[in-house]
Amino acid sequence: MSAEATSPGARSRRRGRTSIDLRRLGRAALLGPASRDRLPDAIGHVADAHRAHHPDADLLVLGKAYVLAEMSHRGQFRKSGEPYITHPLAVTLILAELGAETTTLTASLLHDTVEDTDVTLDQVRAEFGDEVCYLVDGVTKLEKVDYGAAAEPETFRKMLVATGNDVRVMSIKLADRLHNMRTLGVMRPEKQARIAKVTHDVLIPLAERLGVQALKTELEDLVFAILQPEEYERTRAVIADRATTGPSLDTIAVDVRRTLREADISAEVVIRPRHFVSVHRARLKRGEMRGTDFGRLLVLVGEDADCYAVLGELHTCFTPVISEFKDFIAAPKYNLYQSLHTAVAGLDGAVVEVLIRTHQMHRVAEAGVVALGNPYTPVDGAEPADGERADPTRPGWLSRLLAWQESATDPDTFWTTLRADLAQDREISVFPADGGMLGLPVGATCVDAAYAQYGDGAHGCIGARVNGRLATLSTVLVDGDTVQLLLAQGPVQAPGDAGGVGDSGGPGGERTRPVAGQAAQEAAPGPSPEWLDHARTPAARIAIAGWLAANPESLKVPESEPRAPGAVTAGRRGVANVVVDVPEDATVRLAGCCTPVPPDDVTGFLVRGGAVTVHRAECSAVGRMAALGRSPVAVTWGDEAECRVTLYAESFGRPRLLADLTEAIATAGAAIVSANVEPPSEQRVRHTYTLQLPDAAGLAGLMRAMRDVPGVFDVRRAQHEPAS
């Protein structure tokens, strides 16, 4: 089944395959089953399509399933007037053309029997086995009489949970929706729009994530025609007119075939017309359309190595558009898609997009998980380890979805969150420092990574290192990042981390964390409301919202207005060598983001838990605190001479650099509390030192001594750095 729909109202089909006459099938269905020695006439097309992909398939079970479906649905009619049996037949034919195996086709023939007839799941299990029964149950809708308005979201929840155990459930549902969308014209306009909207928000993203492009593209066109009729008609007119400027795709296809033939590369070059939505997007992006904008060239070869050989010839004999090159063979997309994408320009400047893939890659690109056949069949008769099924699609998105849906007990919350989750149609991979991989949507932050890795344990997250550098929890991650998440307690907090991350779990600076001299095991107060602004995954948002709801006191801003003289103890010295106006039981902390020392101009802020964090006046966290409406607390320095400070030293890598730096520090009379040297990047090395000085007056001399060390080009105080 081709992914390129030539008309939203017409079914895409293989070249040379005869069209399906539903009325003829209906008449054949009314005649009842055929004799035992041959298949019923009504499923002849299904049998032909199935045998094209599976020549040795046993078709007797299909005939048996058809007989049960036909007898069960006899007397039922669709709104279009055809006998109802034509619907399961059409759904099964869609899957057969995609290459689905026999079990899936058997279940698709029976997918409406339990829902709409007197057939029970026990009967299906007795006749066709547990697998077929599971698939039929997975796509069976829940009754409105039992669930009311929640029937639709709860039905989708049930299907998704079933899909988590067997992806074939969703394959049947997608084919079912495609046939319903093809015949939606008999419905009232308002019902057409409602069904099209759900298809757009839920089914099309699921088809994309399962890699079933053949169904996804046709569903997109059908939805486009219903939800945007004016744009659809405009696009239809553009396709009908077909721009004639420049060479046609046919001309360039001839040149490509000749080039590959002369290079002795066996390849099939075909033209892939863009479907309606693709043309619409290209028109919005490019404005005036040229002849080569209405399609792409698809080059099919036998082996992976041949793909790169074709790429080399095209880039040698044509002018490549380097910005358009993407290698999805070396790095497949999360939905199994593999292909080389490039674009080349001819002598006249006409640019054409080219897709290069093997025949097997093309089959998977069109049919996605359906092309896997039965993905749970043991290899060489071996049972999966521990009786578990290995999911061949590696859908991290599905694992995340199944995880958060358990927490979304309210149907409205589930339905809204599901649509928002599926709208994030791209995925990145990040790597925890302790091994493994996390799949996250594009735009995910360290907050999302924390909840993906630790679940509710992420409530105690106090910071992160991204690619070895300290980062706020609001930092947006990109594909390939390495993430080390720092918790208030537990094995992921390194002994030297206690004083180097800063006091903020996000850009607001309102989270506190231990600084040097405090116990590293001090418990974090839990997620702040600002984390919701940084969370992109439903799992993180639901977990944070749940914690905040269970701990309403965390939402209260500590009182920070001037207090009556009897309510405070003026002139009380805090543990950090500062004098503050706070209650006796308050904890005073020097902010790790800027590590103030005498005689810095400082200010303090009350944070959750009644603690006071002290910042340098020029620290960027001060402005953010003020923007949040936090009132400052008066802070002055005490008379103790000792102080603690964090310094960053930037240097070029060389032998004995660390020894020379530590010698300079010791000579200046400072004690090293903790030190961290990051891996070299572009021959540059970053050192982080937390130092105890006998007197703050010696800080300037210490920094000069460190700068004088050969190879060191910058030494500066710790300060907030912008999230990358």
Q: DSSP letters along 230-269, please?
A: HHHHHHHHHHHH---SS--HHHHHHHHHHHHHHTT---EE
| 37 touches 31 (CB < 8 A) | no
* Neighbour tally for 347: CB within 10 Å: 9
| 649 touches 708 (CB < 8 A) | no
Length of the chain: 724
| 199 touches 177 (CB < 8 A) | yes
| 256 touches 297 (CB < 8 A) | yes
| 498 touches 520 (CB < 8 A) | yes
Set 116, 201, 391, 721: catalytic member: 116
Set 41, 48, 115, 201: catalytic member: 115
Residue type, 384: P
* Neighbour tally for 599: CB within 10 Å: 9
Q: Which two tokens stand for residue 198?
A: 């759900």
Omega before 599 within 30 of 0, i.e. cis: yes
What angle do helix axes 60-73 and 102-109 make, rounded to 10 degrees? 10
Largest CA distance in the chain: 104
Question: What distance in Å separates the CA atoms of residue 54 and residue 65, rounded to the nearest whole number?
Answer: 18
Question: What distance in Å separates the CA atoms of residue 471 and residue 523, rounded to the nearest whole number?
Answer: 20
Question: What distance in Å separates the CA atoms of residue 84 and residue 69, rounded to the nearest whole number?
Answer: 10
**H/E segment holding residue 164:** helix 151-165
Q: Which two tokens stand for residue 116?
A: 């709409």
Q: Which two tokens stand for residue 640?
A: 């103790």
Bridge partners of residue 560, in order along the sequence: none
Residue type, 1: M
| 462 touches 455 (CB < 8 A) | no
Residue 34 phi, psi dihedral angles, 5° rounding: -85, -175
115 in active site: yes
479 in active site: no
Q: Which residues are catalytic?
A: 115-116
